[in-house]
Copies of this chain bind each other. A is one copy, B any other.
Amino acid sequence: MKTYNCGLDITLEVVGGKWKALILYYLLTGPKRTGELKRLADNITQKMLIQTLKELEANGLIHRKTYNQVPPKVEYSVTELGETLKPVLESLCKWGEDYAESTFNKNEYQILNAN
């Protein structure tokens, strides 16, 4: 039996870590192919991308669709469950931007994918 301190633990288990939230964030704007995601996420490794996608899929947040063709084509999209995270992720993102703006100096940091 898994034990959590509070709901936060669970959420962090799902979108915590270095890439999960980011990838999910991208997918929330529409289905993407593997290569597309690779290009979008700055500096992510093939390994981490695949691993991240697998974990998101295992948690039921995204869906993986394969096209049987050569060369292979795979497309990822958010599930209904994944959609429910949208408002949460957006407020998280917004808070981070505000926080940075109010505590860092402008020339000390940069946000690559600010909207």
Question: Measuring CB to CB, which residues of chain A are less than 8 angstroms from any residue of chain B?
Answer: 1-12, 14, 16, 21-22, 25, 41-42, 59-60, 81, 84-85, 87-89, 91-100, 102-104, 107-114
Contacts and interface: CB of A to CB of B under 8 A. Distances in A.
A22 B107 CA distance: 32
Contact of A25 (B8, B81, B84): B8
Contacts of A3: 42, 109-110, 112
B109 A1 contact: yes
Contact of A108 (B2, B100, B102): B2
B107 A7 contact: no
B99 A6 contact: no
Contact of A96 (B11, B25, B111): B11
